[in-house]
Amino acid sequence: MFGGLVRIADHAAWDRGFPVKYLLVREDEEGEEKYWGRCASVEGLFVDKVPPKREVLTLRGCTPEGSLRDALSPAADSTGLLGDVCVEVWDEQQPLQWWTLVDSVVLAHHPNRSDPALVDVVVGAGVEEEHAWDHTLPVSPRFKLFAGNTMAASPAGDCAGVDGLFVPRGAPPSTPLHLIGCEAAEALLAVLRRPRKWDRDWVQLWALDNHGEVMYHHNVHLRVEKARPSVLGGALVDITLADGGDRPPVLARPIWETWYRGVPTTRNQWAPYSAQGRSEWLDLTATRMSGRRPDRSGGTHHLDGRFVTDVPGLHCAMEEALVGPGGYFGRAWNAFKDCMGGGFGVAPPFTLIWHDADVARRALAAVVSDPDEGLSYFEDIVRLLERWGVTVVLQ
């Protein structure tokens, strides 16, 4: 049994000349997952995001830290390139909303007129927002800045305001998703008969490997644009959904092909990929996490550090060291900390021998997760392990 009333083994195979690669599943009002259909293929699952249009914004009254401070340096080697910057708007206690300034670059900077000790920074960036601002701006808001992606964001300071942030932005264009060769259960047939009724609802697409195991979950709107007899023939149907949602990038396709053959059994298969590709690899390990399981303690684990050149690579190597290829043990710092508490196959105390540790030490020296502590991501992970009672041997 996997989630409510869905038994994967009952639906993962059919009497046709091609395999079932996807199941359609929907959670009902009681939280039970119900089988809605199965498909031979999906076209349009891998889509690179269309970059947001470029805008010019001014970060007013900034106290820069980390990469923002470095970008404002008068040194000749400073390029002003910031990469992605997250802007969080806080009230007195918590963040209210956040935006991502994509591929940010410093265009100019000068002392703030009201307080010359602070700096105004003019940046060019694309602005991504999950939804339009719908809060009341606090009397004294705080704008916190973080540079980097969600897996390794480092504080970049704070500012008093951001000119150009609170403007209307149209929703990005949606890209359809084509379900090919679908055998629809009665619930899905009901949607096809009255599609407009279901426009605001969601369904999950479960991608299967060639052993019939779930390797990925994808949520998609039930906005049926078209349904027609399938190009694969028989009684199957092809369904076009108007909005395929937030999908894996194109670079994930070869990674999925590797996992489609089954859970990896060889170490370092993730190593040839970029940081983004390694992050996609970690997404597939996370899908296989299904509840807590017994732990083993003691013994010695060996981490192959030759390819730990970024944060996703660190977690790929750590997972393989602790629970083996394809296993899950946290894909970022907080998740890794949760796994150390037990229930994910291994728990302290144990010994971790980190081979070629200097590779990670050098590569992650500039990734600082807590500026107050001043530790790099590598140092922070080592400290976390030791605090949990792990004996860490750096070689």
Ordered per-residue pLDDT tens for the chain, 395 residues: 333 467 888 999 999 999 999 999 998 888 889 999 999 999 999 999 888 999 999 999 999 998 899 888 876 566 788 889 999 999 888 889 999 999 999 999 999 999 999 999 999 999 998 788 888 888 888 999 998 765 566 789 999 999 999 998 887 788 999 999 999 999 999 999 988 888 778 999 999 999 999 999 999 999 999 999 999 998 999 999 998 888 999 999 999 999 999 999 999 999 999 999 999 999 999 987 766 778 999 999 999 999 999 999 999 999 999 999 999 999 999 999 999 999 999 999 999 999 999 999 999 998 876 666 778 999 999 999 999 999 999 99
pLDDT attached to residue 198:
80
pLDDT attached to residue 85:
94
Co-location of 44 and 193 in the same domain: yes
Co-location of 277 and 386 in the same domain: yes
Domain count, the chain: 3
In this structure, what are the phi and psi dihedrals at residue 173, rounded to the nearest 5 degrees? -65, 140
Co-location of 276 and 374 in the same domain: yes
Q: What type of residue is 370?
A: D
How many CB atoms sit inside 10 A of residue 95's CB?
13
Cis peptide before 349 (omega within 30 of 0): yes
Co-location of 75 and 96 in the same domain: yes
Co-location of 347 and 237 in the same domain: no
In this structure, what are the phi and psi dihedrals at residue 286, rounded to the nearest 5 degrees? -65, -35
pLDDT attached to residue 1:
32
Co-location of 119 and 195 in the same domain: no
Estimate the crossing angle of helix 333-340 against helix 377-387, to 10 degrees. Answer: 10
* Domain boundary residue, one of 215, 247, 279: 247
- What is the residue range of 376's domain? 266-394
Question: Is 148 inside a domain boundary?
Answer: yes
pTM: 0.85
Helix (H) or strand (E) holding 182: strand 177-184
Question: Is 258 inside a domain boundary?
Answer: no
Tokens of 86: 């997250």
CATH at 325:
3.30.370.10
Co-location of 283 and 344 in the same domain: yes
Co-location of 37 and 183 in the same domain: yes
Cα separation, 67 vs 60, in Å, equals: 17
Co-location of 110 and 191 in the same domain: no
> Are residues 124 and 107 in contact, defined by beta-carbon separation less than 8 angstroms?
yes
Length of the chain, in residues: 395
Co-location of 185 and 110 in the same domain: no
Co-location of 235 and 290 in the same domain: no
First to last CA, the chain: 44
Co-location of 349 and 381 in the same domain: yes
